[in-house]
Amino acid sequence: MADSFVRIPCNGCSVDTTLPQRSLPDITQHRTQPSAETDFANFVCSCGQGSLHPVVQLERREAVSVARVVRPPLYCASLKCGVKHCDLHVVVHAIAQSGAQKSEMDEAVGKWKIDELECRSGHHAKQLATLLYSHIFDPEPD
């Protein structure tokens, strides 16, 4: 049976990012207050545009050309929430660019467009992006 994948649309460049559906738990967050759209993902496209995606609205498709879709390395950044007394971080993911070092990804955060990104309470990220910490997660290393 073939793997399936999810398409993450970009509002900036209109190019979708595809991830294996097995990667969805890696980027899914849960709201502190239950709602119809409790599960969401903050994702930044390679063009630097960040957007929030309710997980239930992400399009799922079956992979037809390959039997198994490899889970790519993901860059995970925690940004400061824009609400002064909120202790939650705005957690965002991006595809870790091939050959890029964590320090290069950290530097790119300052150029990201993060207006749409939210913490688990629904507050927007602080403008300009304030990086609190980050890491690269490689679920399927060579």
Sequence ranges of the domains in the chain = 4-137
User: 76, 78, 93, 91: which is closest to 136 by C-alpha?
Assistant: 76
**Consecutive 10-residue runs of the chain (142 residues): their mean pLDDT?**
85 91 92 78 95 93 75 93 91 86 92 94 89 89 66
Q: Are 134 and 77 in contact (CB under 8 A)?
A: yes
Give pLDDT, residue 37. 67
Would the pTM of this model clear 0.85, i.e. be above it?
yes
What are the phi and psi torsion angles at 132 (to 5°)? -95, -45
Supply 24's token pair.
Answer: 């969805």
Give pLDDT, residue 111. 93
Give pLDDT, residue 27. 95
Strands of the chain (E only): list them. Answer: 4-8, 17-20, 29-30, 39-44, 50-54, 59-62, 74-80, 89-95, 131-137
Supply 16's token pair.
Answer: 């979708």
